[in-house]
Structure 1
Amino acid sequence: MQIGIAAHSSPVNAKVESMVREFLRELRASCPQATLLLGGYWGLMKFVVDEALKLNFTVVVVLPVERYDVELPQGVIRIDTGAEFRSRSVVLVRSSDVLVALGGGAGTMIEVLMAYAMGKPVYVLTDTGLSSDALQRAFPDYIDDRRVVRIRYFNDPIKMAREVCREAPRAVKISFG
Structure 2
Amino acid sequence: MREVADAARDAGLPIVFVIPRGYEGDVYPEGSIVVRTGLDTRERSSILVRSGDVVVALGGAIGTLFEVFIACSYGVPVFFLKGSGLPTDKFANCFRDGVVDDRIGRCIEYFDSVEELLERLCGYRARGSS
TM over 0.5: yes
* Of 110, 121, 126, the match for 1:153: 110
Q: Residues 72-111 of structure 1: matches in 2 within 5 Å?
A: 72-111=28-67
Judged with a 3 Å threshold, the aligned counterparts in structure 2 of structure 1 residues 120 and 149 are, in CA distance, closer, same or farther, namely farther
Matches within 5 A, 1:17-96: 45-96=1-52
Q: Secondary structure at the match of 1:58?
A: coil
- Provide the aligned length of Structure 1 versus Structure 2: 128
Is the contact between residue 75 and residue 104 of structure 2 (CA under 8 Å) also seen in structure 1? no
Show the counterpart of 1:34. none
Q: Contact 2:20/2:44 (CA < 8 Å) preserved in 1?
A: yes
- Stretches of structure 1 lacking an aligned partner (at least 5 in a row): 1-44
Task: Kindly indicate whether residue 73 of structure 2 is the aligned counterpart of residue 112 of structure 1.
Answer: no
| Residue type at the aligned position of 2:114 | P
The normalised TM-score by structure 2 is 0.91
Describe the shift of the 1:132–1:107 C-alpha distance in structure 2 as closer, same or farther (beyond 3 A): same
Match of 1:144 in 2: 101
In the TM superposition, 1:123-142 aligns within 5 A as: 123-140=79-96, 141-142=98-99
The one-letter code of the counterpart of 1:83 is L
| Deviant stretches of 4+, over 4 Å | none
Q: Distance in 2 between matches of 1:136 and 1:57?
A: 30
Cα distance, 1:48 vs structure 2: 1.3
Pair 172,62 (structure 1): closer, same or farther in 2 beyond 3 Å: farther
Q: How far did 1:157 drift?
A: 1.2
Deviations 1:103-146 (A, max 9, x none): 11110111111111110111100011111111111111201121
Q: Is the 8 A contact 1:119 1:149 kept in 2?
A: no
Tell me, in whole angstroms, the C-alpha distance in 2 between the residues paired with 1:88 and 1:124: 20
Shift, 1:166, TM fit: 2.2
CA contact (8 A) 2:75 2:107 kept: no
Aligned partner letter, 1:58: P
- More off after superposition, 115-124 vs 45-54: 45-54
Look up the equivalent residue of 2:36 and give its one-letter code: D
Q: Report the TM-score, using the length of structure 1 for normalisation.
A: 0.68
Give 1:172 deviation, angstroms.
Answer: 4.3
Root-mean-square deviation (CA, aligned residues, Å) is 1.4
Structure 2 unmatched ranges of 5 or more:
none
